[in-house]
Amino acid sequence: MEVPPPHQPLSNRRAYIDLGVISLLTIAVDGARQTLSYSGRPALADWWYLSHQIDRLKALAKTMNNRESTRGVRRLYRQRRLRVHQFVNTTVRRAIEALWVSGVSTLVVGDLTGILANTSWGRKANAMTHNFWGHRHLIQRVKEVGEEYGIAVELVNERGTSSTCPRCEGDQITRRGRLFKCRGCGLEAHRDTVGAVNISVVFGGRINGVVVHPVEVCI
């Protein structure tokens, strides 16, 4: 016998989610004029700080005892992983609660193929895409919390969703930092927004007008 989820959807809107590092979740909701961005920056700062501590302790262990690792080093690794997981858990829960309240019943989540192949995010972000969030953990949390709220979660291939213009569908794109610029129609937008809006365009969304910059949600 299947146990029903503790919550049921309040309506049947769809939301489209682009996963990332600097913006952990960028979300476009059917019928909304702006995307929502849940920043990953606080956890990035923590992660970077602890990484420096780890490097320092490792160098010390090498010099003093000619050892690669120590109990202190392992403790810092655990601490780093735990902090990231806690941050991801809190963020995903806040985001899904907010979506549930606004009547979302389905989440369409871009898988991370695009992110893992992305090399234009700079040294920090690249280091993280491989060992920072652990994208499986992130997706797992989205699925689990979605389930609690009776929200269906569909994973889709987001390949190409950050390199096509959501207004004219052109591919003459310039990206500088977080800025996305279409040389075809002149659209300038925040690139996470473009990712989320394009997932919605490809997977049947109804986004009104073109959304340029996301509303950043602080948790």
Q: Which of 59, 82, 179, 185 binds Zn ion (CB under 5 A)?
A: 185
Contacts with 79 (C-beta within 8 Å, 6 or more apart), sequence order: 50
Under rule CB under 5 A, which residues in 117-136 are in contact with Zn ion? Answer: none
- CB nearer to Zn ion: pick between 112 and 187: 187
Residue placing its CB nearer to Zn ion in the complex, 17 or 182:
182
Distance CA(22)–CA(20), nearest Å, equals 6
Q: Helix, strand, coil shares of the chain as percentages rounded to 5? A: 45, 20, 35
Q: Is position 181 an interface residue for Zn ion (rule: CB under 5 A)?
A: no
Q: Is residue 167 at the binding interface for Zn ion, with CB under 5 A as the rule?
A: yes
Q: How far apart are CA 154 and CA 164, in angstroms?
A: 22
Which residue among 165, 189, 194, 207 contacts Zn ion (CB under 5 A)? 165
Least separation in angstroms between residue 23's CB and Zn ion is 21
Residue 101 as a binder of Zn ion (CB under 5 A): the answer is no
Euclidean distance between CA atoms 206 and 215, whole angstroms: 18
The residue count of the chain comes to 219
Which residue's entry shows tokens 């990206």?
A: 175
Tell whether residue 168 is a contact of Zn ion (CB under 5 A): yes
User: Applying CB under 5 A, does 194 fall inside the site for Zn ion?
Assistant: no
Q: Which stretches of the chain bind Zn ion, using CB under 5 A?
A: 165, 167-168, 170, 182, 184-185, 187
